Structure 1
């Protein structure tokens, strides 16, 4: 009886340099983050172009630059420089018994801070 002459299985560690499959390239950011968007019309990977969206006094529809989701920004109103300066001027005019705090309650004196509702990233501020 003769033995069959089967070659040994391929072992990449034992192969001489230059032989065997090429090393795999590390995945790109788009591939690692869930895949490359595909445009079925052009049969090419889609290109996503983002730009800085100016934020205003109301919530803004945009694509979050951090999580890449299409969102309507969340807004929070906080006293800004105008509110504090107005309160200081009112205080100097003699209305020191609490009237100087009124600008901190008026929406038109407030700055508007925009955040992403999905990832809570800070997106920008609208100053008066």
Structure 2
């Protein structure tokens, strides 16, 4: 049996951990819950509430302002809170795609995010 050097052990550890995760040996999803999916659902409601409460001319109202504030807080939570699960990452990407609504500066950005979401869905299945 050969002697394992510390540097080889340290460089192999992340790879071994990822391999175990990919093989399903580490139940990360079961142990860690991400709030991102719930925030995304709330953000969608706040976004709709904002739009539904604008005047016919598109001006803000007191009610639309309340929804805007909630929407803004949720955006900060979604963006700034690190995701710990595939579901959390999926929610972040879905938020980017929905919030941008075709206003990407480079058309391939939208394609990349859309396909990344499809890719993540295959991991969750």
Q: Report the TM-score, using the length of structure 2 for normalisation.
A: 0.30
Q: 1 or 2 for the larger relative contact order (CA 8 Å, sep ≥6)?
A: 2
Q: Considering only CA atoms, is the larger Rg found in Structure 1 or Structure 2?
A: 1
The structure richer in helix per residue is 2
The structure richer in strand per residue is 1
